[in-house]
Structure 1
């Protein structure tokens, strides 16, 4: 289970559980997709993919309808070693493979937002720790976008967008500032566990506005090392 920005967004806007997701496939709107490079190096597992359903995180709030999450994994597909703490307690984020990994600009553009004030918190794999954390989602949602997205960078592809969001970044790692022009592959920050996140991962979405309460999600796709363009499938391990 991965709690990410969009997972609590419906409650942030409505004050009640979001309605059931409309199950659209990413292929239905792939012709309009913004094509991105993968924002990392190494092996990362896909979660909450729009290839499985849209809205991918169960809500369209905050322009997150086509968002996707990536979790760094080792050769065995594990995000962190198995320990007794993982069965019954919260774990330090440093234990996880993705924590501190460089996060790269997936597109050429201009930084319009860069937030780096949220702490990284402990990770939670155990149901014993996930349940109380989930009960606190309403409070985080009331804290607004920063409480949900944690540390994040937003890159405008053009003067009026669309806008590429990379969220849950490590506190103190953001290396860019608003107004800065970026090329694909530039280091933005490091993967963290800030905001509404149960373990270190990077959340990527494309939106049509940074007025988050009015923003709509924009379909996205990725380009691999061979030049292939695709929407990664749920649980697929992608390598960059």
Structure 2
């Protein structure tokens, strides 16, 4: 007489289906949340293959989502020709990451509101929690404040009060501030209310794992 089938044989397919359905629901929900009246911007990086490491309206896709002003923030990394973010396994030299030193340009036309430069690029995964944004630039563009953070030390070429056009050189990607590996952090807020503003590039609102070729 045959005994009862093992649990995984009886219920495994059903559980796998539930996991897949749950994942699809989460993704569709995030997709919808990320497309509520976004503001268009120029993509702020040049000359590379860039991937959104964090982005989207819910925590599973974006570790910034719990912060009201950064709910729609993006952390952007890059990959090399064979798809790796870095040369080696979690290297401690920031220069071994594909995005380190990549050119950062203004995503909008406006005025430079604030500039911080001169903070060191730290060896991953060291982070400077006392200076969360590290070297950064804040732009005032059409009623918004747009922050570009974790820039490379001494790479910023703009000054507070300077007029900039979309596409103007800002600096380079670094690993300054509260950053465990080189990446560009960008977020926008309403200048009056401080509320987070959704951003779109090339007509689409990016979420985690979105790819941009430049």
**Is TM > 0.5 for Structure 1 vs Structure 2?**
yes
Residue in 2 aligned with 1:184?
Answer: 166
Structure 1 portions without partners, runs of 5+: 1-22, 125-132, 224-228
Q: State the SS of the aligned residue for 2:139.
A: strand
1:149 to 133, 140, 157: 133
Question: In structure 2, what is the Cα distance between the partners aligned to 1:176 and 1:155?
Answer: 10
Question: In structure 2, what is the Cα distance between the partners aligned to 1:31 and 1:59?
Answer: 15
Which structure's residues are more often strand, by fraction? 2
Q: Select the structure with the greater relative contact order (CA < 8 A; seq sep ≥ 6).
A: 1
Root-mean-square deviation (CA, aligned residues, Å) is 2.5
Moved segments of 4+, more than 6 Å: none
Deviation at 1:215, TM superposition (A): 2.9
User: Which one has the largest radius of gyration?
Assistant: 2
Counterparts of residues 71-220 of structure 1 (less than 5 Å): 71-83=77-89, 86=90, 91-124=92-125, 140=129, 143=130, 147-158=131-142, 161-209=143-191, 215-220=194-199
Which structure's residues are more often helix, by fraction? 1
Deviation at 1:115, TM superposition (A): 0.8
Residue in 1 aligned with 2:212?
Answer: 238
Equivalenced residue count is: 186
Residue in 2 aligned with 1:39?
Answer: 44
Q: Is the 8 A contact 1:114 1:153 kept in 2?
A: yes
1:25 to 19, 23, 30: 30
Closer/same/farther in 2, CA of residues 178 and 150 from structure 1, 3 Å limit: same
Q: State the SS of the aligned residue for 1:94.
A: helix
- List per-residue Cα deviations over 1:195-217 (Å, max 9, x = no partner): 1111111011011249xxx8321
Deviation at 1:60, TM superposition (A): 4.3
Question: In structure 1, what is the Cα distance between the partners aligned to 2:152 and 2:167?
Answer: 18
Deviation at 1:80, TM superposition (A): 1.2
TM-score (norm 2): 0.77
Question: In structure 1, what is the Cα distance between the partners aligned to 2:74 and 2:153?
Answer: 21
TM-score (norm 1): 0.70
